[in-house]
Structure formats: structure tokens, C-alpha cells
């Protein structure tokens, strides 16, 4: 089982898409193990986007992600990163497949509604920015026996 980090960004919160996004995550068969409604701090944002620190768009990333409330989510499941990346869609909504979150709701590359870690390694790093181990809730859906061999 993999863990994946998803952040519903301020634009999706403002547009009232939180429930729709969570519904789509759950429908993939991924299991929610932690979730919280937060205001990302400047320190969290700087850690989160550290890999982009030298890029010209870095200040805008930090400014936007701290501009309003977000929903931080930890999910768990088989191939969680790949499933989530497919669900989220391409970074630029104009390139995102129909049926993906960004393909269906995205309007602008700078306001692309949701972040999902791009690798298992990055998921571990990003999850640690937003969650402690004590915040994860381990549970097993009764449907697992019907979904996995």
C-alpha cells in the first residue's frame, strides 16, 4: 500500500468544489486516512515548494497557496500515486484529460485546484509537512475483500 498527499487548493475551496474532489478521490478506491481544513503557513509553503525555490514562479506559488483555506488529505491504497495523478490530470488544465479534476474544472495553470505528490518519495516528504504520524487513522473497509485478491 502506498500513501499519497493531496492538497485541495484555495481556488477549489472558494469555488465550492471540495466535496466533489473528495467524492472523486473516494470513488477511485483510495482510502482517506487523514484530512484537515487548514490555512497553509508561509513556512509550510516554503518547504512544500522548496524544489522550485530558484524558479521565477516560486513567490507566486507560496503567495497563492497561503492566500486562503485549503484541505490537506492523506490517502492510502494500491498504486495511490499513479491513481491520484491520473485523477488530478495534467498541471495545465488545457492539457488535462476530460474526466480528470483539472480537465473538468480547471481554468488556468496558476489556479489548478489541487496538488498531488508526483512520487512515493515526494509524498512522504509532503505528508510530513502537513501531518504527524498520530493523525493517520488506520482502518479497513469491508469492501477490501471484494476489491483485492
For 18, 31, 73, 89, 134, the CA distances from 99, given in Å and listed in that order, are 16, 20, 21, 9, 34
Cell numbers 479534476 correspond to 101
48 is a catalytic site residue: no
Per the residue annotation, which of 3, 9, 48, 115 is the catalytic one? 115
Pair 114, 9: CB distance under 8 Å: yes
Positive or negative: CA dihedral 81, 42, 68, 113: negative
Tell me which residues are annotated as active site: 115
Amino acid at each position: 500500500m502506498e500513501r499519497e498527499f493531496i492538497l485541495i487548493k484555495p481556488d477549489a475551496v472558494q469555488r465550492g468544489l471540495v466535496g466533489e474532489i473528495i467524492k472523486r478521490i473516494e470513488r477511485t478506491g483510495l482510502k482517506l486516512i487523514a484530512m484537515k481544513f487548514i490555512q497553509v503557513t508561509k513556512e509550510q509553503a516554503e518547504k512544500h515548494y522548496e524544489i522550485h525555490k530558484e524558479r521565477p514562479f516560486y513567490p507566486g506559488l507560496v503567495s497563492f497557496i497561503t492566500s486562503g483555506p485549503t484541505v490537506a488529505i492523506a490517502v492510502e491504497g494500491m498504486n495511490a500515486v499513479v491513481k491520484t495523478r491520473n485523477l488530478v490530470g495534467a498541471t495545465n488544465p488545457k492539457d488535462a484529460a476530460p474526466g480528470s479534476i483539472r480537465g473538468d474544472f480547471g481554468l488556468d495553470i496558476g489556479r489548478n485546484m489541487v496538488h498531488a505528490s508526483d512520487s512515493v518519495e515526494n509524498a512522504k516528504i509532503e505528508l510530513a509537512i502537513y501531518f504527524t504520524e498520530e493523525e493517520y487513522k488506520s482502518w479497513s473497509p469491508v469492501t477490501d475483500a471484494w476489491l483485492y485478491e
